[in-house]
Amino acid sequence: MTIPSGRPRTRFLVVVLALAALTVAGSVSAVTRTTNAQAAVGTLAAAVEDEGADCAVSGLPDLGSLPTNAKLPDPFKKLNGTTITAKSDWRCRRAEIKELAEKFVFGDKPAKPATVTGTVSSSTVTVNVTHNGRSTSFSARVELPSGTGPFPAVVVVGGFGADTATIKAAGAAVISYDPLAVGREGTPRNNKQGAFYSIYGSSSSTGLLAAWGWGVSRIIDVIEQSDGRTLKADAMGVTGCSRYGKGAFAVGVFDQRIALTMPIESGSAGVPIFRGIPGEGAQSLSSAYGEQPWLGDAFGSFTGSPNRLPVDTHEMVAMVAPRGLFIMDNPHIANLGPRSASVAALGGAEVYKALGAGDNITYWSDVQDGSHCANRPEWRTPLQNNIRKFLLKTGNEPGVIRISSRALGRLADWRDWPTPVLADGPTTPPPTTPPPTTPPPTTPPPTTPPPTTPPPTTPPPTGGGCVATVSVNQWTGGFVATVRVSAGTAPVNGWTVTMTLPSGASITSIWSANRSGSTGTVQFTNVAYNGAIAAGQSTEFGYQGSGTGAGMTPTCSAG
């Protein structure tokens, strides 16, 4: 991924509008506070995993009959070609979108197995599953806040998501969930491993993200069956960052018992619209599909042709409606697809608005720190507000759409469908809202012009070679390293960065580079799209590791 040299200090455009204006403008440049009536807090999370399980879904398209459509599919249009007219119609329309998402993107997420048992204590949730003669088990660590339970709880996928100190201080428990015990990374598609595949077979076409979601659903099953004195099954949230942000998003999409979904910097295969990723320069769909079996096997047919998909992630955002959704994003790393993620949020927000729940979605990429998966001060207050509103049920703060001007998506560029006015109950179809009579502006008007990008804090080399610098985001037991490679006064065509990891440290995943190993002295080389660096410019790659990342000193050679 290529990023301008230095740490930008771009001002963000601030426009305060009603969410209804999204229909006309198609996007907002920074802050949008929704004003429609909030759905009743306390009734947003469903009592069951899938409220539309009884809907008769028919007319799913076949792989060979899919037309090409560069615009986002209409979330309000049913498979039979008609548009829903009442809020009550959304339940079965959501069931259609779920079937499309499973068939073409994630693979099937099975319903509750025949037998789920387990225990809940102040330190652990254990899960035991038996289905079709096969059994498996896994567990998750629990950290309770101060006070007297039962407590709402936030599942932290991979132990790596929203600030756990803020979560506990707000009064919610933290459940540290190891998704790799349920769906292991580093396995081939025809030999997937983990608790999910112990039940459904190692050759299952279901990807890891749906498997990880299945695991969280089984944790909720156990909490529902407990005595209710420790954790509240009707006040569950989920969060995760990076690949665990992809997982957190999938958890909230597919289990309607999740009251608050909080993905962070989820990147390709997460929130960003598939159709927008190729044009944004984000991690390619083929790279995301091949890096790990996160997505279902069927998605392999679309890595080079996302316009053939009959579904896109704005509809998965909509599948969370009307429940709480807080999407946190990073506008400084194009590889994460933040512009495409903002389009997904804006498209899904149209469904929230139509359901009368526009106050329940927040998208926030207005952040200054560009480090991947950092705990950002800008998110602390909305995080507290969302926990109070959807888990503690003591707050009523409206959601905001706050998009950085660095990665501003325009919904108007991606849709050719209107947002209907949905009746409160089954009635005769009301007229749909007509499209605007005047075209939306090509760019949103800034209130103040952003300053130019300041010079880099680390000067590029004066000669014709390259230099590398590293920044580390460390947490207990793991870290993320972001490495910047800068060209000097001459362009670079190919680069190699050498770095010695501390004793006990090991690389678990990498993006935007190749590597020679996982421990000790490791050489990182460019991938096809970031080997050429213009004179005075930079590119970045990153990796996640276990152990400590302190004290690493990279060296760079060009060519």
Q: What positions carry a catalytic annotation?
A: 242, 372
> What gap in Å lies between CA 237 and CA 154, rounded to an integer?
4
Contact between 316 and 213 under an 8 Å Cβ cutoff? The reply is no
Q: Specify the amino acid at residue 332.
A: H
> What gap in Å lies between CA 353 and CA 347, rounded to an integer?
10
> What gap in Å lies between CA 274 and CA 257, rounded to an integer?
26
Compute the half-sphere exposure of residue 179: CA atoms within 13 Å on the CB side of its CA: 30
Which of 500, 558, 542, 540 minimizes the C-alpha distance to 7?
A: 540
> What gap in Å lies between CA 540 and CA 524, rounded to an integer?
11
Q: Which two tokens stand for residue 363?
A: 């998208």
Which of 169, 124, 162, 158 minimizes the C-alpha distance to 143?
A: 124
Contact between 32 and 349 under an 8 Å Cβ cutoff? The reply is no
The values of phi and psi at residue 180, to 5°, are -70, -20
Which of 295, 262, 422 minimizes the C-alpha distance to 355?
A: 422
CA 91 to chain CA centroid, nearest Å: 23
> What gap in Å lies between CA 398 and CA 404, rounded to an integer?
19
Which of 512, 499, 558 minimizes the C-alpha distance to 534?
A: 558
Contact between 546 and 478 under an 8 Å Cβ cutoff? The reply is yes
Distances (CA, A) of 35 to 43, 397, 533: 19, 11, 46
186: left (phi over 0), alpha (psi -120 to 50) or beta: left
β-bridge pairing 492-493 and 478-487:
unpaired
Compute the half-sphere exposure of residue 265: CA atoms within 13 Å on the CB side of its CA: 23
